[in-house]
Amino acid sequence: EQERLLKAGKALGKQDTIRLFEHHRGQWDKLQISGVLGVLMWDDFPWPVFKRPSGPDDVTAPYITAYMLSPLHPADKSAKDRIKENIRRWHPDRFETQLLPKVKESDRDIVRDAAGTVVRVLNDLLRSSTQE
């Protein structure tokens, strides 16, 4: 059901949003365990947006910001800590050495582009959160 809603691009309700956050956390767990997913593709990544992106053009600053600052995230971390955690996940030094080599060749450039967008937006969010 969640997949259907995401593909349809419908606005998610509270419970669907919470399930999406849980699903993304599980996806990160799988990505971090070497070899669990084998060859990775675009759809294997838990892009920090509410609507499943079909390509890098769907991974934008407003969508990432809305996702990261949602009040429906689990309360175990502050927004600032959540941003920092995601910067570590998406940072090129880590992402491009640990995950990108596992990405199918035909998806590699689009994954790299979108991951770059994600980390730039996250860094901007972190800067703005420390200025408040």
- The answer to whether the CB of 54 falls within 8 A of the CB of 16 is no
Question: What does pLDDT average to over the chain?
Answer: 88
Closest Cα partner for 124 from 75, 31, 61?
Answer: 61
The CB density around residue 37, as the number of other CB atoms within 10 Å, is 14
Phi, psi dihedrals of residue 12, rounded to the nearest 5°: -90, 140
The pTM score is 0.86
Contacts of 53 (CB under 8 A, 6+ apart): 47, 59, 114
Instruction: Round to whole Å and give the CA distance between 123 and 114.
Output: 14
Condensed to tens digits (0 to 9), the pLDDT of residues 16-70 reads: 999 999 999 999 998 887 666 789 999 999 999 999 999 999 999 999 999 999 9
